[in-house]
Amino acid sequence: MGTQKKGASRGSEDPVELARVPLQAILLADSFTTKFRPITLERPKVLLPLVNVPMINYTLAWLESAGVEEVFVFCCAHSKQVIDYLESSEWFSQPNFTVTTIESHNSVSAGDALRLIYERNVINGDFVLISGDTVSNMSLTQVLQEHKERRKKDSNAVMTVVIKRSKPSQITHQSRLGTDELFVAIDPNTKQLLYYEDKADHAKGSIYLDKLLLADNPSITLHNDKQDCYIDICSPEVLSLFTDNFDYQHLRRHFLKGLLVDDIMGYKIFTHEIHSSYAARIDNFRSYDTISKDIIQRWTYPLVPDVKFFGNSSIKLERQGMYRASEIGQSRSAQIGPFTVVGSGTKIGNTTKISNSVIGEGCSIGSNVSIEGSYIWDNVTIEDGCKLRHAIACDGVIVKSGAVLEPGVVLSFKVVVGQQFTVPSYSKVSLLQQPIKQDSDEELEYADSSGGIAEISSITHTVDKLNGEITNQPFETQCWPTSELGTGGAGYVWSICEGGHDEEWRHSVAPIPADKLSEAIHAADDDLELTQDGRSLPPSGELKPDSNDSEYDDDGESRDDSIYFEKEVEATFLRAVHENITVDHVILEVNSLRLSYNKVAADCAGGLFYSLMKLALETPQDSASELVQATTNVLAKWKKLLKYYLAEIDEEIEVILKLEEICESTKEFAPVFDKILYQLYDLEVIQEEAILRWDDEKKDADESDKVFVKQAEKFIQWLREASEEDEEEDEE
Amino acid sequence: MDFQVVVLAGGTSKNLVPLVSKEVPKALLPVGNRPVISYVLELLELSNLKDLIVVVEGQDAAVRVGSWISGAYVDRLHVEVAAVPEDVGTAGALRAIAHHLTAKDILVVSGDIVSDVPLGAVAAAHRRHDAVVTAMLCSAPVSGPSESGSSVGKDKAKKPGHYNIIGLDPTKQFLVYIAAGAELEKDIRIQKSILRAVGQMEIRSDLMDAHLYAFKRSVLHEVLDQKDTFQSLKQDVLPYLVRCQLSSEVLLNGAPQTEENGNEKASSQNNQLMLSQILANSSTPSFHELYALGPNGSTPVRRTHKCCVYIAGKSKYCVRLNSIQAFSDINRDVIGDASHLSGYSFSAQNNIIHPSAELGSKTTVGPHCMLGEGSQMGDKCSVKRSVIGRHCRIGSNVKVVNSVVMNHVTIGDGCSIQNSIICSNVQLQDRVVLKDCQVGAGFVVTAGSECKGEALAKKEK
């Protein structure tokens, strides 16, 4: 309701009033992910140097140049470090540009952050929502204009998402930034966003668009060649929407999906495509690599190393895209190749070769070193004869002579690699031990960092301690396991966690190795063949032009659904058995399951009966008769529960069919089908009418289907005679 | 031109009962006083496509259609009339006459299209892209009849009026998705692989498949041979070709093979260029070619084929006569908005009255009307927006509004006919009032009857 009122009052204000509101921005200085671990255990992501400048400076510099007047920096993980950094920087003393920090210690997601900001009540107009790891040089004028005009016409247009053309690789299905391919559907006329699918499920060969979409729009365009820039122009309603829907955590996965799919109150999201300007977000190590190169190659102008903006020192551009600070000590025989940045105070030894790399400040690089495509941060020591390819070495790392870093290695702060040691590719090394709790659940990624926060406070402690120790004591006294990083090495090699090696190459700084590439090609081909042979061209779809393939998928899905449903029912029931929950409560729980899975009473009856039989089977027994006895006991005990769902004959028949199914699949039950059927009848779970109707239904079935009918023939015979007798009696 | 044209003239479509009968198959239904098939034939003639096979369902109907065509087009077109059994579907009809098809490309036209879209342009688009199939799309009518049902006797009358859902590549030259028939009822399901290849796809619901296709003969043969369950071109063959265009199972043998080799050479020359285009994320060559090149940009690794579209301009007229509603609409349009199709020259009053027609005193024939040869009208009659056929005898005080009256119809005095279709040889006795009715051939409506929204016809023996 609050939203409505607010929207209405805003609408009543005249546009001039709106225009006078200073442009605000919310900068999330926490990505709420763990992709940059282990580095982010010690330093927040927004302060990691990108071409020797902390990332947040790129974002702030862009916001300032784009005319934003007030920025709220939301800090969560390592908030102290972020605030300290900003305080020591010049950002707090800019004219016409105020930076305010908002600190939180218990936010676990962007959703929490926005809810907190809503409570603070600081946003009073349209605002730019951005995370602190975004590099852009786009102008906001046009997109703001568009957003405002749309708002005037339709107050439900709450958000404008900036997108950019970028075709993902057809082989790896990921963009050059290492993010998953994105499928979006956009109305070509209004630019309204109609469908959004990142985190694509690769197993699914096709996407489904609601047919109602086309009812409203005569044409929609479906894109696979767009990239989300994660720059959003939002109306204040967005914040209240997050508050209203307290379960929204992720901006895209929950908020966007929620608005698009659930169609909450008709809110609409629009897109704005940028063509010539740059916008990208550092999501993982691969995008770190890609964006660094883009900066060096000046796509992000004016945010390039040789143009003075906040936080970078003077650096000169030389030929071939080589940037060198003025005071570096470079040996004459050292070769510094193209697209390389060397920070001030760095010394480079004889015959060392560096290409496509970024070297920070105050590094000392020995002789005969070869560095290719790597990111060396500040005060790193690389001794003679080392080889680094596509690696990241954080501040204070020491690579001892002759060591080799293979592609994809990440060395966190102050790690020491021993002499002649080869760090295998994709290793992540840190002085801190890998947190044991690894929440691999994708859904809970945001929750993961909640563990991270608790960790962090303790970790920062240890970091400080470690710093002290390392500087004060000689390394030899430290008892690092020598096996991990060679003699004199310091640090833990993190074991590759969930996803394993397979996924590591996707997000690493290293280029995709050829073998993975060819693997992916084969996978793509297989994929294609699979969709061709399999689901998308079912032969029966050809037989009956009226029935098309998606029907088959529907079947598949509903089958999956029933399996899940049955499992849930079984789990509920087992819990009831073990925890002595009363029948009424079980009924309540099963009913809620039934509603959420959109099932009918017969499904519940089937599911419960299945669970009952399973329970009976689990009780130890030696002979068939004991099994029957056990079954009878279980049935007698839970009769009330089962009966609840057997209001109609159809549901009773469902139970018989289920029994048949169970007997078919479990050999223990197969011989006693008729006996259990009799017990069911005897316990008045099912009536004779149901049995007789089941028998009738089976009359025309195949012989193979009639195994159990035959088995129960005598019983049925008896039933029929009995009922005839009854009738006769009635007649008399 | 080595295009061979197949005109699917249908038989006696159930959709059009009682207008059609054994005597009058669908192809010979009059539109502006000439058989509907003549519109297609003349359109083909205009595009210089003169080598035709007209496929008719049913032997009797074939004889009738054949005799009419040979009478009317004896010197102008080279027409072969082939009869196929009823209810074989469009694909079945083509299968039945497959041995007649010899040209490199086949143009398949439905015999019930009334259109002014240049067919030569469709053929040219097909050739230009070396496509396996080219489909003509036209804008779906904003309202009005459904396009359901294919021309050859499939009963689709129960289906609600839905058009196609069509996916196009950004250049609007290639067909990447098509949904027809029952698929329209479901959510739109799009293969990711093809979307990845195209990058961007436009999905439109305001276009419809006009049932005019150009096929590569070798491919058509192969599909018809291999998939013997395919019944309809529109619902089976076309969607199949569209779906598998990136991993073609269609072997291009014979003549196209050499051409493909030629392409291969050309593409290897262009490799450098293409590679740079791939790197630049551009798709200037067709996405099929890029996709076929594979990731290395070397020789083609994947077999692809192209499905093209020709989209008729919005101003073009293109309607299929496949329902009773469509029949009245087309007749009205041909003498009204789309009068250039009729091939007649209109008088100053914007109507066509044959010189041999006789009008009684105080009888008025309004604009957008047509009065056929030898018809007679009594006194004080009024005709508005209607077509009246040949040799009709109409009494006095008769009103005909928005209706079609075929040949040799007798209308008694004081009749009123609104929004109705009166077939040949019908006799309306005096003072009959018809509104929204269809009267089948040879029916006699007794004097003084009033009907509204009925279909009147003789019982089939």
Residue of A nearest to B166 (CA): A219
- Centre a 10 Å sphere on the Cβ of residue B326 and count the other Cβ atoms it contains: 22
Within-domain flag for B136: yes
pLDDT at position B269: 40
Long-range contacts of B370-374 (CB under 8 A, 24+ apart): B370/B32, B370/B33, B370/B335, B370/B342, B370/B344, B372/B33, B372/B407
Within-domain flag for B278: yes
pLDDT at position B280: 41
pLDDT tens track for B321-376? 888 888 888 888 888 777 777 777 777 777 888 888 888 888 888 888 888 888 89
Record: contact A222-B246, CB cut-off 8 A: no
Closest CA to B359 of B340, B342, B374: B374
Within-domain flag for B223: yes
Buried b (16+ CB within 10 A) or exposed e, B211-238: bbbbbbbbbbbbbbeebeebbbbbbbbb
Tokens 């927006």 label which residue?
B385
Q: Name the band, by pLDDT with cuts 50, 70 and 90, for residue A130.
A: very high
C-alpha triplet A556, A561, A564: angle, nearest 5°: 130
pLDDT at position B154: 34
Q: Are residues B427 and B355 in the same domain?
A: yes
Record: contact B200-A545, CB cut-off 8 A: no
pLDDT tens track for B162-177? 578 888 888 888 888 8
Record: contact A224-B281, CB cut-off 8 A: no
- Centre a 10 Å sphere on the Cβ of residue A202 and count the other Cβ atoms it contains: 12
Judge whether B20 and B420 are in contact, CB under 8 Å: no
Read off φ and ψ for residue A699, nearest 5 degrees: -55, -40
Over 80: is that where the pLDDT of A550 sits? no
pLDDT at position A694: 81
Q: Are residues A93 and A179 in the same domain?
A: yes
pLDDT tens track for A76-119? 888 899 999 988 888 888 888 889 999 988 888 889 999 999 99
Q: List the 147-176 stretch of B: residues with Cβ below 8 A of A.
A: 165, 167
How far apart, in Å, do the first and last CA atoms of chain B sit?
46
Record: contact A222-B295, CB cut-off 8 A: no
When mean pLDDT is compared across A42-46, A555-559, B409-413, the lowest value belongs to A555-559
Q: List the 145-174 stretch of A: residues with Cβ below 8 A of B.
A: 165-168, 170-171, 173
Q: Are residues B383 and B315 in the same domain?
A: no
Record: contact B186-A548, CB cut-off 8 A: yes
Q: Which of residues A251, A286, A321 is at a domain's end?
A: A286
Element (H, E) at A623: none
Q: List the 434-463 stretch of A: residues with Cβ below 8 A of B.
A: none
Spatial separation of the C-alpha atoms in residues A281 and A271, rounded to whole Å: 17
Q: Name the band, by pLDDT with cuts 50, 70 and 90, for residue A291.
A: very high
Q: Are residues B81 and B226 in the same domain?
A: yes
Q: List the 535-574 stretch of A: residues with Cβ below 8 A of B.
A: 536-537, 539, 542-543, 545-551, 553
Mean pLDDT of A371-376: 93
When mean pLDDT is compared across A49-58, A386-395, A430-439, the lowest value belongs to A430-439
Q: Map A438-485 to HEC letters.
A: CCCCHHHHHHHHHHHHHHHHHHHHHHHHHHHHHHHCCHHHCCCCHHHH
Q: Are residues B26 and B163 in the same domain?
A: yes
pLDDT at position A447: 39
> Is A189's Cβ below 8 Å from some Cβ in B?
no
Within-domain flag for B332: no
Spatial separation of the C-alpha atoms in residues A86 and B37, rounded to whole Å: 80
List of residues 6+ apart from A290 with CB closer than 8 A: A176, A177, A178, A280
Our CA-based measurement puts residue B139 at a distance from the nearest CA of chain A, in whole angstroms, of: 11
Within-domain flag for A461: no
Q: Are residues B46 and B82 in the same domain?
A: yes
Mean pLDDT of B231-260: 65
Our CA-based measurement puts residue B397 at a distance from the nearest CA of chain A, in whole angstroms, of: 48
Q: Are residues B41 and B180 in the same domain?
A: yes
Interface test with B, best of A181, A518, A527, A532 (most B CBs within 10 A): A532
- CA distances A318 to A64, A329, A342, A469, B202, Å, are 28, 16, 11, 41, 46
Q: Name the band, by pLDDT with cuts 50, 70 and 90, for residue A444.
A: very low
Spatial separation of the C-alpha atoms in residues A449 and A76, rounded to whole Å: 10
Nearest CB to B192; choose among A205, A537, A543: A205
**How confident is the prediction for chain A on average, in pLDDT?**
78
* Tokens encoding B185: 């009822």
* Tokens encoding B39: 């519109």
pLDDT at position A159: 92
pLDDT at position A310: 61
Sign of the alpha-carbon torsion through B134, B138, B140, B146: negative
pLDDT at position B182: 67
Closest CA to A59 of A27, A91, A107: A27
pLDDT tens track for A298-351? 888 888 888 777 656 677 888 777 888 877 888 888 888 888 998 888 999 999
> Is A517's Cβ below 8 Å from some Cβ in B?
yes
Q: Name the band, by pLDDT with cuts 50, 70 and 90, for residue A551.
A: very low
Q: Which of residues A267, A286, A305 is at a domain's end?
A: A286
Nearest CB to A224; choose among B183, B196, B244: B196
pLDDT at position A719: 81
Q: Are residues A259 and A317 in the same domain?
A: no
Over 50: is that where the pLDDT of A440 sits? no
Q: Are residues A281 and A329 in the same domain?
A: no
Q: Are residues A90 and A146 in the same domain?
A: yes
Residue type present at position A379: N
Nearest CB to B247; choose among A173, A528, A547: A528
Within-domain flag for A707: yes
- What DSSP designation does B140 have? P
Q: Are residues B243 and B359 in the same domain?
A: no
Within-domain flag for A393: yes
* Tokens encoding A489: 């090495």
- Proportion of chain A above pLDDT 70, given as a percent: 80
When mean pLDDT is compared across A189-203, A376-390, A648-662, B294-308, the lowest value belongs to B294-308
- Centre a 10 Å sphere on the Cβ of residue A152 and count the other Cβ atoms it contains: 12
B184 contacts in chain A (CB < 8 Å): 211
- CA distances A447 to A289, A438, A635, B136, Å, are 27, 11, 43, 54
Nearest CB to B165; choose among A167, A168, A214: A214
Please tell me the total count of domains within chain B: 3
Q: What is the CATH number of the domain that holds A662?
A: 1.25.40.180
Q: Are residues A162 and A271 in the same domain?
A: yes
- Centre a 10 Å sphere on the Cβ of residue A576 and count the other Cβ atoms it contains: 20
Over 70: is that where the pLDDT of B287 sits? no
Pairing state between β B200-204 and B318-320: unpaired
Closest CA to A191 of A166, A160, A214, A153: A160
Q: DSSP secondary structure string, A180-231?
A: BP-EEEE-TTT-BEEEEE-S--TT--EEEE-HHHHHH-SEEEEESSEEEEEE
When mean pLDDT is compared across A57-61, A313-317, B27-31, B263-267, the lowest value belongs to B263-267
Over 50: is that where the pLDDT of A716 sits? yes
B302 contacts in chain A (CB < 8 Å): 525
Record: contact B184-A517, CB cut-off 8 A: no
Q: DSSP secondary structure string, A503-533?
A: HHHHHSSSPPPHHHHHHHHHHHHHHHHHHHH
Q: Are residues B94 and B177 in the same domain?
A: yes
Spatial separation of the C-alpha atoms in residues B342 and B330, rounded to whole Å: 11
Within-domain flag for A220: yes
Over 80: is that where the pLDDT of B54 sits? yes
pLDDT at position B253: 41
B193 contacts in chain A (CB < 8 Å): 205, 524, 527-528, 531
Query: What range does the domain containing B270 cover?
Result: 261-293
Spatial separation of the C-alpha atoms in residues A67 and A299, rounded to whole Å: 21
Nearest CB to B192; choose among A167, A207, A548: A207
Peptide bond into A513 cis (omega under 30): no
Task: Indicate left, alpha or beta for A318 from its phi (over 0: left) and psi (-120 to 50: alpha).
Answer: beta
Record: contact A548-B197, CB cut-off 8 A: no
List of residues 6+ apart from A346 with CB closer than 8 A: A325, A328, A329, A359, A360, A361, A362, A363, A364, A365
pLDDT tens track for A569-619? 888 888 888 777 778 888 888 888 888 777 777 788 888 888 888 888 777
Q: Mean pLDDT highest for which of A8-22, A36-50, B7-21, B129-143?
A: A36-50
* Tokens encoding A41: 């255990």
Q: Map A636-691 to HEC letters.
A: HHCHHHHHHCCCCHHHHHHHHHHHHHHHHHCCCCHHHHHHHHHHHHHCCCCCHHHH
Residue type present at position A25: A
- Proportion of chain B above pLDDT 70, given as a percent: 81
Spatial separation of the C-alpha atoms in residues A91 and A61, rounded to whole Å: 9
Q: Are residues B219 and B272 in the same domain?
A: no
Q: Are residues A723 and A584 in the same domain?
A: yes
- In terms of DSSP H, where are the helices of B270-343? 271-279, 287-293, 324-335
Q: What is the CATH number of the domain that holds B435?
A: 2.160.10.10
Within-domain flag for B235: yes
Q: Which of residues A268, A286, A304 is at a domain's end?
A: A286
Q: Are residues A571 and A612 in the same domain?
A: yes
> Is B448's Cβ below 8 Å from some Cβ in A?
no
- What is the ipTM score, two decimals? 0.73
Q: Name the band, by pLDDT with cuts 50, 70 and 90, for residue B258.
A: very low
Within-domain flag for A281: yes
Q: Are residues B111 and B11 in the same domain?
A: yes
pLDDT at position B460: 54
Mean pLDDT of B14-35: 83
pLDDT at position B162: 53
Of residues A669 and B440, the one with the higher pLDDT is: B440
Within-domain flag for A48: yes
B168 contacts in chain A (CB < 8 Å): none
Q: Are residues A330 and A421 in the same domain?
A: yes
When mean pLDDT is compared across A196-200, A526-530, A612-616, the lowest value belongs to A526-530
Judge whether A162 and A272 are in contact, CB under 8 Å: yes
Over 60: is that where the pLDDT of A529 sits? no
Mean pLDDT of A242-259: 85
Q: Are residues B41 and B168 in the same domain?
A: yes
Please tell me the total count of domains within chain A: 4
* Tokens encoding B253: 């043998």
List of residues 6+ apart from B73 with CB closer than 8 A: B41, B79
Q: Name the band, by pLDDT with cuts 50, 70 and 90, for residue A249.
A: confident
pLDDT at position A19: 52
Q: Are residues B244 and B276 in the same domain?
A: no
Judge whether A411 and A394 are in contact, CB under 8 Å: yes
Mean pLDDT of A407-412: 91
Spatial separation of the C-alpha atoms in residues A393 and A218, rounded to whole Å: 53
Spatial separation of the C-alpha atoms in residues A701 and A684, rounded to whole Å: 27
pLDDT at position A95: 83
Q: Name the band, by pLDDT with cuts 50, 70 and 90, for residue A399.
A: very high
Q: Are residues A602 and A638 in the same domain?
A: yes
Q: Name the band, by pLDDT with cuts 50, 70 and 90, for residue A12.
A: very low
pLDDT at position B193: 79
Query: What range does the domain containing A139 cover?
Result: 2-286
Of residues B288 and B88, the one with the higher pLDDT is: B88
Q: Are residues A280 and A416 in the same domain?
A: no
Q: What is the CATH number of the domain that holds A360?
A: 2.160.10.10
For the CA atoms of B384, B385, B388, B392, what is the dihedral angle to 10 degrees?
A: -10
Interface test with A, best of B168, B183, B277 (most A CBs within 10 A): B183
pLDDT at position B147: 39
> Is B87's Cβ below 8 Å from some Cβ in A?
no
Of residues A543 and A438, the one with the higher pLDDT is: A438
Q: Are residues A538 and A557 in the same domain?
A: no
Tokens 């027409």 label which residue?
B79
Spatial separation of the C-alpha atoms in residues A528 and A523, rounded to whole Å: 8
Closest CA to B25 of B70, B56, B1: B56
Q: What is the CATH number of the domain that holds B185?
A: 3.90.550.10
Mean pLDDT of A424-441: 73
CA atoms within 13 A on the CB side of A181: 23
Within-domain flag for B429: yes
User: For residue B142, with 0-12 CB atoms within 10 Å meaning exposed, 13-18 middle and 19 or more buried, which class applies?
Assistant: exposed
Judge whether A197 and A185 are in contact, CB under 8 Å: no
Q: Are residues A110 and A35 in the same domain?
A: yes
